[in-house]
């Protein structure tokens, strides 16, 4: 028998049965980092990049929230959740000041966690930045996506580092 939660006793893919679990408050935060080349940074105006497609970060925030709400439609064994909150922030930072740092925080009162929703929201926001800026440069790199923290459920998690 596998230790993986999405594999049944016959070693076949299976959705986790959360029917007997207690609904609790669950939160998760995820981060994606997009490394922006000089050609993209050259059009940065304050805290926004404006292209012919529109305001990049504002659009990425909307896309990320929309994606987080649809995570169960994208990832086969995710449960449909009515998110109570999904907040995405985007800032410019990093050691060289050339990274768009995307954070997605999701919250729900449910029987299952929201890690995948937070990760999906951050990832789709990163992909949206790439899509809207690719006319300026294809040297954009989506460098990393990771879970920063989660609370609720069996155990809490906090990324250290």
Catalytic residue set: 131
Helices and strands (H and E) in the chain: how many: 4, 8
If DSSP states are collapsed to H, E and C, what string results for 127-156?
HHHHHHHCCCCCCCEEEEEEEEEEECCCCC
Phi, psi values for residue 79, rounded to 5°: -80, 145
- Token pair in block for residue 92: 């410019």
Q: How far apart are CA 33 and CA 80, in angstroms?
A: 27
Residue 118 tokens, joined: 């937070």
């Amino acid at each position: 028998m596998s230790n993986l939660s999405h594999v049944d006793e016959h070693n076949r893919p299976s959705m986790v049965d959360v029917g007997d679990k207690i609904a609790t408050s669950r939160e998760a935060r995820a981060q994606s980092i997009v490394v922006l080349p000089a050609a993209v940074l050259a059009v940065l105006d304050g805290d926004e990049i404006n292209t012919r497609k529109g305001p990049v970060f504002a659009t990425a925030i909307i896309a990320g929230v929309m994606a987080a709400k649809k995570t169960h439609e994208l990832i086969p064994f995710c449960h449909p959740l009515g998110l109570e909150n999904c907040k995405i922030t985007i800032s410019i930072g990093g050691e060289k000041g050339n990274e768009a740092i995307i954070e997605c925080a999701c919250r729900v009162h449910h029987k299952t966690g929201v890690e995948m929703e937070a990760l999906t929201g951050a990832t789709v926001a990163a992909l949206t930045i790439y899509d809207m800026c690719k006319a300026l440069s294809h040297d954009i790199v989506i460098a990393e996506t990771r879970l920063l923290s989660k609370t609720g459920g069996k155990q809490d998690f906090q990324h250290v580092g």
